[in-house]
């Protein structure tokens, strides 16, 4: 009916948007049409793609592990071994995203072509291929961490993950020494042949610094430090690239956790009411009293620095606002006739909540999600700035700021990570602002 109405408008009439009368108009079609009108939000949404690709393809961009290392003794492939045995647990999840990326592109391309011929809407195709990628990553993580117990062995060991037999070898140094002795050696490295935790003697050097040839001790010493080095001579550009993984991990895992808790509890409170509503509302009020930042500081002092503590505390203490928003929307939806019709047809409470009410009550939670990701990134950077966030060796944007805080003359350690944090947080805030404007009828133009 809405499509026919829009199609019947006269050319001189003002309209918010126009869709062909032969197509159905859903709520998300309207939201997307309104979202596209906000050019800043649309550009920010497209910038999220390169940000995620940078995090996923970090080992292909920068690594001191060669793809191929060939000597007179034979040929080995250290990069592929490292891919399944990285130093940081967060890297393993992104490495599995890299392993599954190209098969996913192939399968998604074939399926998308088939689904397009069958008339599957584009929004549904995007949702399905995205869900397929997430499931593929989770499957790879499970497969390569699947433990098996072998008779005669004391511990459970991963069955399918190839062990890194070369973890103690420094290939750039080894290659340099072999060349000095005149022995045969050939190696192929990524675009930037430097690792995120690889130290050097070029400490606190400004952007563009290149180690003099007479001081070379490794074959990758020739590569210039485009964004300078830190207190241990580690390349700032490489640490910024790998730091993207930590920031995105903290943001999305923490927000995903508290969105799930908040939506479920808010839906139960709004739907059942009575005693259930009263208990959940009291729990919401209690959780809103918890100072997340200081709680993380306390747990870190007791348990030590860990990215998992940061994720869990943010996720377990920030759901109260989402629960209140969801509860209010469910209270409104519960009074509409379609809920009474579902009850009359004998639908269970769970089906009514998750199949009928929640799809119509998720707008506030979805709007809050991008702002929550931005807030979690700032929280992690602030904790790392204080030295109580992730481990000190992990490549984090906040840890670079901490080094600059100790000595303000190293300006690049302030400008580079601060610019990255500002850029990333601005992207998520613009997306959240555009989503809010698109979902609120009072803000539509």
For residue 16 the two structure tokens come to: 């918010």
Considering 30-39, 56-65, 265-274, 432-441, the range whose residues carry the highest mean pLDDT is 56-65
Average pLDDT score over residue span 46-66: 94
List, in order, residues 6 or more apart from 113 with CB less than 8 Å away. none
pLDDT digits (tens, 9 = 90+) for 146-186: 665 444 444 455 557 788 888 888 999 999 999 999 899 99
Residue 84 has pLDDT above 50, yes or no: yes
Average pLDDT score over residue span 299-311: 79
How much is the pLDDT for 423? Answer: 94
Which of 189, 155, 150, 149 lies closest to 172 in space, CA to CA?
189
Per-residue confidence band for 188, with pLDDT thresholds at 50, 70 and 90: very high
| pTM of the complete model | 0.85
Q: Spell out where 123-214 has E strands.
A: 147-148, 157-158, 185-188
pLDDT digits (tens, 9 = 90+) for 263-274: 999 999 999 888
Distance between CA atoms of 149 and 409, rounded to whole angstroms?
A: 55
How much is the pLDDT for 17? Answer: 43
Average pLDDT score over residue span 356-373: 87
For the chain, report the end-to-end CA distance as a whole number of angstroms. Answer: 22
How much is the pLDDT for 379? Answer: 86
Residue 253 has pLDDT above 60, yes or no: yes
Average pLDDT score over residue span 84-111: 91
Strand partners, 185: 71
pLDDT digits (tens, 9 = 90+) for 326-356: 998 898 888 888 888 988 888 888 888 888 8
Q: What percent of the chain has pLDDT over 90?
A: 41
């Amino acid at each position: 009916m809405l499509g026919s109405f829009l199609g019947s408008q006269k050319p001189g009439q003002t309209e918010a948007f126009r869709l062909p009368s032969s197509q159905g108009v859903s709520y998300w079609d309207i939201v997307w049409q309104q979202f596209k009108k906000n050019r800043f939000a649309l550009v920010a949404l497209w910038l999220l793609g390169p940000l995620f690709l940078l995090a996923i393809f970090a080992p292909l961009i920068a690594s001191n592990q060669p793809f191929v290392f060939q000597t007179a003794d034979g040929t080995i492939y250290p990069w592929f071994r490292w891919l399944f045995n990285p130093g940081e647990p967060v890297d393993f999840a992104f490495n599995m995203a890299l392993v599954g990326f190209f098969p996913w592109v192939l399968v998604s391309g074939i399926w998308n072509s088939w689904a397009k011929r069958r008339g599957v809407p584009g929004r549904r195709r995007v949702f399905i291929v995205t869900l397929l990628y997430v499931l593929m990553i989770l499957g790879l993580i499970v497969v390569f961490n699947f433990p098996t117990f072998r008779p005669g062995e004391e511990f459970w060991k991963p069955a399918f993950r190839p062990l890194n037999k070369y973890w103690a070898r420094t290939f750039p140094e080894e290659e340099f020494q072999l060349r000095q002795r005149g022995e045969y050696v050939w190696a192929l490295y990524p675009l930037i042949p430097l690792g995120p935790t690889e130290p050097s003697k070029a400490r606190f050097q400004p952007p563009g610094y290149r180690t003099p040839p007479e001081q070379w001790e490794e074959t990758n010493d020739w590569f210039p430090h485009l964004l300078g080095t830190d207190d241990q001579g580690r390349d700032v550009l490489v640490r910024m690239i790998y730091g993207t993984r930590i920031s995105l991990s903290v943001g999305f895992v923490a927000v995903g956790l508290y969105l799930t808790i908040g939506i479920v509890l808010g839906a139960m409170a709004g739907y059942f009411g009575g005693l259930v509503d009263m208990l959940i509302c009291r729990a919401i009020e209690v959780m809103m009293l918890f100072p997340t930042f200081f709680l993380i500081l306390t747990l870190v002092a007791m348990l030590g620095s860990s990215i998992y503590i940061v994720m869990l505390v943010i996720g377990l203490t920030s759901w109260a606002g989402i629960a209140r928003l969801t509860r209010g929307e469910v209270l409104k939806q519960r009074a509409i006739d379609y809920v009474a019709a579902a009850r009359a047809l004998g639908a269970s409470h769970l089906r009514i909540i998750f199949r009928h009410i929640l799809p119509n009550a998720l707008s506030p939670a979805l709007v809050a999600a991008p702002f929550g990701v931005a807030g979690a990134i700032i929280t992690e950077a602030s904790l790392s700035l204080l030295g109580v966030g992730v481990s000190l060796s992990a490549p984090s944007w906040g840890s670079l700021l901490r080094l600059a805080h100790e000595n303000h003359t190293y300006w690049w350690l302030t400008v580079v990570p601060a610019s990255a944090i500002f850029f990333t947080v601005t992207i998520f805030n613009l997306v959240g602002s555009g989503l809010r404007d698109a979902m609120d009828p009072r803000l539509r133009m």
